[in-house]
Amino acid sequence: MTEPLLSLENVSVRFPIGRRRHVTAVDGVSLELREGETLGLIGESGSGKSTVARAAMGLAPIAEGTVRWRGKDVSTFNAKERRAFSEAVQMVFQDPHSALDPRRTILQSVREPLDVMGRGNKKDRREVAAKALEDVGLATQMLSRYPHQLSGGQKQRANIARALVTNPKVLVCDESVAALDVALQAEILNLLQDLKAEYDLTILFISHDLSVVSYLADRISVMYLGNIVENATTESLVEQSLHPYSEALLSAQPLVHDSSEGRRIVLKGDIPSPVSPPPGCRFNTRCQFAQEGCREVKPDLVEVLPGHASACLRVDELYADRLGRTVAS
């Protein structure tokens, strides 16, 4: 197996809240982003998925663990390596409107990464920016417009163009279509697919929407309350999920042609506060299969099928049929 392009090893992110208290937004998460793939990161609001993206970008303080770029610890980078890293990893933010400075024109915003990195002369930078804008399907007359003069979809295209001007290897999309309506979502997703091929991108795609993620991603990681609970290829996850939380997510998907063979698993209550997470398995408060043991022991992420890992104590008994095993009873 080739070395992952970008990897997170046991990364934890904590934010201080008041006196000597902190919230662990991301708790020992490991991720591998392999060259050329699209990795989907899914979870509900407050699960820490955006913080994972920010930690990978160096925008969130990492309390524990390491982020590696091509096998090398990012925190040990010198100025030159750091610059190369920030050129290679670019982010597309959730809200297309607030991600663009309202007082700068689209051209100024899109050209800015090049300005900051001091690439080429002003004319070259303008050309690169104009090319990127053309690639994302924005007409030339948009260059001199201000963000408020563009529609949501156009703004998100401009954001994507800005992320592309440095010719990155990795694109981190943080809920990049969540603020758009469904027709536009499809448009932007197709655009990302096209750009991925054109620019040879590796994508980390973060979303709460399973249908969006499964459309794009080769592999999916499911997050719950700062932990990754399941890791699998998209197909394996959708066909034979091996974690009660992922199952609940899957069952929550409205399907047009659903024959309703599966029952809907409705999770009760909200995601617990990460300030005081429940002991044991983080999901035990809402899991219909939770037992005594689940409240005491925190399950590790274990590879139960080739390329398919699950963090559930009862994985063997709950999914015996999918694992092709028999439970010793």
Q: Which residues bind other proteins (CB under 8 A)?
A: 57, 59, 82-83, 86-87, 90-91, 93-95, 98-104, 109, 112-113, 115-117, 146, 148-149, 159, 162, 166
Query: Which residue number, 86 or 214, has a Cβ lying nearer to other proteins?
Result: 86
Residue 218 CB, shortest distance to other proteins, in Å, is: 24
Residue 146 CB, shortest distance to other proteins, in Å, is: 5
Using an 8 Å Cβ cutoff, are 247 and 315 in contact? no
Residue 91 CB, shortest distance to other proteins, in Å, is: 5
Residue 176 CB, shortest distance to other proteins, in Å, is: 12
Query: Which residue number, 188 or 228, has a Cβ lying nearer to other proteins?
Result: 188
Helix-then-strand count for the chain, H and E = 11, 12
Query: Which residue number, 6 or 290, has a Cβ lying nearer to other proteins?
Result: 6
Query: Which residue number, 94 or 236, has a Cβ lying nearer to other proteins?
Result: 94
Query: Which residue number, 126 or 298, has a Cβ lying nearer to other proteins?
Result: 126
Residue 4 CB, shortest distance to other proteins, in Å, is: 21
Query: Which residue number, 92 or 248, has a Cβ lying nearer to other proteins?
Result: 92
CA angle 315, 320, 326 (to 5 degrees): 125
Residue 166 CB, shortest distance to other proteins, in Å, is: 7
CA atoms within 13 A on the CB side of 310: 24
Using an 8 Å Cβ cutoff, are 41 and 204 in contact? yes
Separation between Cα atoms, residue 308 and residue 319, nearest integer Å: 13
CA atoms within 13 A on the CB side of 183: 1
Residue 38 CB, shortest distance to other proteins, in Å, is: 20
Total residue length of the chain = 329
Burial class (CB in 10 A: 0-12, 13-18, 19+), 108: middle
Using an 8 Å Cβ cutoff, are 290 and 241 in contact? no
Distance of CA 12 to the CA centre of its chain: 16
First to last CA, the chain: 38
Query: Which residue number, 101 or 258, has a Cβ lying nearer to other proteins?
Result: 101
Query: Which residue number, 88 or 305, has a Cβ lying nearer to other proteins?
Result: 88
Using an 8 Å Cβ cutoff, are 210 and 10 in contact? no
Q: Hey, CA dihedral for 72, 60, 232, 86, is it positive or negative?
A: negative
Residue 171 CB, shortest distance to other proteins, in Å, is: 12
Cβ-proximal residues to 41 (8 Å cutoff; 6+ apart), any chain: 31, 49, 52, 53, 204, 205, 206, 207, 213, 220, 221, 223
